[in-house]
């Protein structure tokens, strides 16, 4: 029981804390509504859960032997984050939902797989809960995480849809999108710096 609670708190903390996936979800909720954002939310949830499962059965050992794989993922992930940020920065001030690009299921899944922080969270969970030692524990945690992750990420879509009420003019809407876009691009730069700059590469 105690371990289950710890697992739930870990999953909730990692799922609901700010990051590229949640900021993109926020913009999707704002620009397209909660229902339309669910495709991206589902993709991000399933993508992370699958990554967690594969690392739990030993994928992390492969990445340790091929360090260049993580470096490649970092570049691709930063590129995808910059893409979302650029789209928000250059979006018009219109408040019609059809005027903004809508993130989809596959982009949500890809963003998780291309995010070294998602890999780090999965590896940390695998070590913390010794997921490679017990398949039942691994299956339970992946299912628990998938459930919590969906609602954790989805809450950002709900928050975005509520923020829309305060953005009653095209100018306010555009400024909010530009702020989100700028933050995403900054996060991409920080991601690259953490992966390469801090490691002296």
Q: What is the rounded CA–CA span in Å between residue 12 and residue 201? A: 33
More confident residue, 87 or 194: 87
Per-residue pLDDT tens digits for 11-36: 999 899 888 899 999 989 988 889 99
Q: How many residues does the chain have?
A: 201
**What are the residues whose beta carbons fall under 8 Å from the beta carbon of 13, sequence distance 6 or more?**
none
CB 149 within 8 A of CB 7: no
How do the domains of the chain map onto residue ranges? 2-197
Per-residue pLDDT tens digits for 39-85: 999 999 999 999 999 988 886 566 566 566 667 777 888 888 888 88
Per-residue pLDDT tens digits for 34-52: 999 999 999 999 999 999 9
**Angle between helices 135-163 and 34-54 in degrees, nearest 10:** 160
SS3 5: helix
What is the pTM for the complete model shown? 0.82
pLDDT, position 194: 73
For the cut 60, the answer to whether the pLDDT of residue 195 exceeds it is: yes
For the cut 60, the answer to whether the pLDDT of residue 156 exceeds it is: yes
> Distance from first CA to last CA of the chain, Å, rounded?
44
Q: What is the rounded CA–CA span in Å between residue 26 and residue 157? A: 5
**What are the residues whose beta carbons fall under 8 Å from the beta carbon of 131, sequence distance 6 or more?**
55, 56, 125, 137, 138, 141
* Percentage of residues of the chain with pLDDT beyond 70: 85
Q: Which residues of 50-84 are buried (b: 16+ CB within 10 A; e: fewer)?
A: bbbbebbeebbeeeeeeeeeebebbeebbebbbbb
pLDDT, position 108: 94
């Amino acid at each position: 029981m105690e371990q289950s609670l710890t697992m739930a708190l870990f999953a909730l903390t990692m799922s609901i804390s700010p990051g590229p996936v949640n900021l993109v979800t926020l913009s999707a909720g704002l620009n397209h509504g909660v229902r339309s954002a669910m495709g991206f939310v589902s993709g991000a949830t399933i993508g992370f859960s699958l990554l967690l499962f594969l690392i739990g059965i030993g994928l992390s050992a492969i990445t340790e032997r091929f360090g260049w794989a993580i470096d490649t993922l970092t570049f691709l992930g930063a590129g995808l984050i910059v893409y979302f940020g650029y789209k928000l920065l250059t979006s018009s001030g219109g408040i019609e939902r059809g005027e903004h690009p809508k993130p989809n299921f596959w982009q949500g899944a890809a963003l998780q797989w291309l995010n070294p922080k998602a890999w780090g969270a999965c590896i940390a969970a695998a070590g913390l809960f010794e997921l490679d030692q017990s398949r039942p524990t691994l299956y339970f945690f992946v299912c628990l995480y998938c459930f919590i992750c969906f609602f954790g990420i989805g809450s950002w879509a709900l928050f975005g849809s509520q923020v829309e009420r305060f953005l009653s003019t095209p100018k306010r809407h555009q400024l909010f999108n530009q702020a989100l876009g700028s933050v995403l691009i900054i996060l991409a730069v920080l991601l690259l710096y953490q992966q390469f700059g801090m490691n002296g590469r």
